[in-house]
Amino acid sequence: MAERTESNQSAPDERQPARGRPRDAGRDRALLEATVQVLQESGYGGLTTAAVAKRAGVSTATLYRRWRSKEDLVVGTAVRWASDLGPQPDTGSLEGDLASLLRDKAETLEGPGGRLLHVLIGEAAHNEALARVLDDAIIQPVRDRAATVVRRAVDRGDIPPLEDAHVLADLVVGSMVSRLFLTPDAAHRAAPATPSSPSSGAAMARELLPFLLRALGAQPG
């Protein structure tokens, strides 16, 4: 029997009331982790639900009770892994708030969410559903948090008002994705090569902080 990997093929209706035992959160997590691993190895075009199910140690029927297609599975994985930026602390200064945002984004990009983004950037260029969810799960949370950082800084008088508070998110996402994904040698050079040194992302966040502060019209403390 051909595998159901396209979103327009028949599948269980997720809107129907659940029957039987409740879903196992551990099994869900195993499937999501397996999806990231298979994507890294095979890319979106080479990913199959059978390969994901095998990697997770479950049947394809178990997978299809959760996601109706390959696309649904990848979208669900992106939503799960890519949006977690952590809390939004008010540190009392623009430098502190921005440093926290950069650290959280670096951790996200170096974790499963970043690996997923790296694989799917090309696919999203011609897959509207994936492009939409990557924007919702990766870009918009950063834009919202960056706008909060800017508004606090303006209210404190740290920087002059910006016409678009979301421009900070473009600077954060663009610079970090470029340095970590498109020029990885630069990211490695930014991190000291010792066992106890911070990750490339953490070192990159520290390196970018003074430049972003100046771009916003502030100076490092």
What fold characterizes domain 82-215? Tetracycline Repressor; domain 2 (1.10.357)
pLDDT in tens, 150-174: 999 999 999 999 888 888 888 888 8
Q: Which CATH superfamily is domain 25-68 in?
A: Homeodomain-like (1.10.10.60)
pTM of the model: 0.71
How sure is the predictor about 184, in pLDDT bands with cuts at 50, 70 and 90? low
pLDDT in tens, 3-42: 444 444 433 343 343 444 456 778 888 999 999 999 989 9
pLDDT at 178 over 90: no
pLDDT in tens, 33-73: 999 999 989 988 899 999 999 999 999 999 999 999 998 89
Predicted local confidence at residue 73, as pLDDT: 92
Domain layout of the chain by residue ranges: 25-68, 82-215
Predicted local confidence at residue 95, as pLDDT: 94
pLDDT in tens, 99-146: 999 988 888 888 777 778 878 888 888 888 888 888 887 788 888 888
Over the chain, what HEC string results? Answer: CCCCCCCCCCCCCCCCCCCCCCCCHHHHHHHHHHHHHHHHHHHHHHCCHHHHHHHHCCCHHHHHCCCCCHHHHHHHHHHHHHCCCCCCCCCCCHHHHHHHHHHHHHHHHHCHHHHHHHHHHHHHCCCHHHHHHHHHHHHHHHHHHHHHHHHHHHHHCCCCCCCCCCHHHHHHHHHHHHHHHHCHHHHHHHCCCCCCCCCHHHHHHHHHHHHHHHHCCCCCC
pLDDT in tens, 210-221: 999 999 988 666
Predicted local confidence at residue 219, as pLDDT: 64
pLDDT at 82 over 50: yes
